[in-house]
Amino acid sequence: MDKFLIKGGKALRGSVPVSGAKNSALPVMAAALLTADKVVVRNVPKVRDLVTMSKLLAFMDAKVSAGTVPASDYEIQAPRLNHAEAPYELVKTMRASILTLGPLMARVGVARVSLPGGCAIGARPVDLHLKALEQMGAEIATSHGYIDAKVHRNGSRGRRLKGAHIVFEKITVTGTENILMAAALAEGETVLENAAREPEVTDLILMLRKMGAEICGDGTSTLRIRGVKELHGTEHTVIPDRIEAGTFLVAGAMTDGDLTITNCQPKHLGAVIAKLQQAGVQIEISDATTVRARGAKKLAAADVTTEEYPGFATDMQAQYMALATQAEGTSVITETIFENRYLHASEMVRMGANISVNGREAIVRGPAQLSGTTVQASDLRASAGLVLAGLVATGETLIDRVYHIDRGYEGIVEKLRGVGAQIERVHSPGS
């Protein structure tokens, strides 16, 4: 298993480009299942989750061509879907495989998708996806670890889902995306209330609209989708990754550096930018795709609560905690989206941070001088938090299980080295 070795203490300076958004590329690639035509997806980040998604589509008999994988451009064509199945072997490595359920139900009216289990950050059920599909006429059974879903054949209508009025009890990002894709080919209108408003949802809507879908309400919590009989091929460039951009902003700020983040969309970073400014970080937005972060000599503590977009993203919580360890005073972090998303806190404590966790609340007292040691990454964003902690720690930090970070950050070692960090990937024997 690969590890990262970091020698902390260097201020990061220079310019670093952001890759395409993993959480946008995943539903956009799954949406290619909705048509028999060719779909071209560009600006896909070269990360493990997208390789898994391409394998999953290929398993279903879609033709996926990308030259060498991982790639930033994929051509996907699914004239027929002979295996409407997402097998356990692929789903276990990527929960977002559930994003194939909506398109499969819409296109062929049957699907067998392995139930994504819990993960390090909590139970993560998909009950809301299933309930909504049932409202649209799907019959769903779960047994032996699989979701078996089908729509009964109905004369000339075939196995077609029906539009429905769906109110999500809780806001769910991939749930919203699954239902958008399912409803795009359903008979009649679907109204989806309490929908997620994340930029990645809006990006999927733009792509579906280019394929011929009739959707309105982008960026709001009520989406209306009028189902059409067929969708066609298109080309789509995914939006920049706002979580990667936010991670670099924190890296520039907490190393007392000066980082310019390019190829990003600062308009998607509102809550993170506001919080960093409150902590004393100097932020400059020079244009629609560039943002610069300069560290303050002294960072100030600031409380944060994770929320759905446009609030402060749960996917930035671990990185913000790393910054809070360096800020003067007490920062209270409240995690409202996931039940168990503080596994990085105990690793930061081993590095010398003063953090106490009580249920959904973490209290961080700073500033603390962190010192390098061996730490374990537990999930994707937790790993990013540990990398940031390592950048300011004295001595060497060795981060184990970095396969988590490889799921979602393209070339993080190279990008950080490019702006002065002393970080290297260590290949362990047997990996």
Choices 83-91, 173-181, 203-211, 268-276; region in contact with ligand UD1 by CB under 6 A: 173-181
CA pair distance 13, 295, nearest whole angstrom:
11
Residue 52 touching ligand UD1 (CB under 6 A): no
Site string for ligand UD1, 183-222 (x = CB under 6 A): -----------------x----------------------
Choices 69-77, 170-178, 254-262, 386-394; region in contact with ligand UD1 by CB under 6 A: 170-178
Residue 26 touching ligand UD1 (CB under 6 A): yes
Site string for ligand UD1, 347-386 (x = CB under 6 A): ----------------------------------------
Contact at 8 Å (CB) between 318 and 297? Answer: no
Angle CA(398)–CA(403)–CA(404) in degrees, nearest 5? 95
Residue 80 touching ligand UD1 (CB under 6 A): no
Residue 149 touching ligand UD1 (CB under 6 A): no
Residue 184 one-letter amino acid: A
119 is annotated as an active-site residue:
yes
Contact at 8 Å (CB) between 42 and 235? Answer: yes
Q: Which of 39, 60, 106, 128 binds ligand UD1 (CB under 6 A)?
A: 128
26 SS3 class: helix
| C-beta of 129 vs 268, nearer to ligand UD1 | 129
Instruction: For the segment 247-306, give every residue that binds ligand UD1 (CB under 6 A).
Output: none
| C-beta of 130 vs 368, nearer to ligand UD1 | 130
Q: Which of 63, 153, 165, 170 binds ligand UD1 (CB under 6 A)?
A: 170
CA pair distance 423, 8, nearest whole angstrom:
8
Q: Which of 8, 109, 175, 246 binds ligand UD1 (CB under 6 A)?
A: 175
Choices 2-10, 117-125, 222-230, 282-290; region in contact with ligand UD1 by CB under 6 A: 117-125
CA pair distance 8, 389, nearest whole angstrom:
8
Task: With CA atoms as reference, report the closest residue to 309 among 212, 213, 199, 383.
Answer: 199
Residue 173 touching ligand UD1 (CB under 6 A): yes
| C-beta of 3 vs 341, nearer to ligand UD1 | 341
**Identified catalytic residue from 40, 110, 119, 140:** 119
Q: Which of 203, 315, 335, 379 binds ligand UD1 (CB under 6 A)?
A: 315
Site string for ligand UD1, 330-349 (x = CB under 6 A): -------xx-----------
Say how many residues touch ligand UD1, by CB under 6 A.
20
| C-beta of 173 vs 301, nearer to ligand UD1 | 173
Least Å distance, CB 103 to ligand UD1, is 15
Q: Where on the chain is the footprint of ligand UD1 (CB under 6 A)?
A: 23, 26, 96, 122, 124-129, 170, 172-175, 200, 314-315, 337-338
Active-site residue set:
119
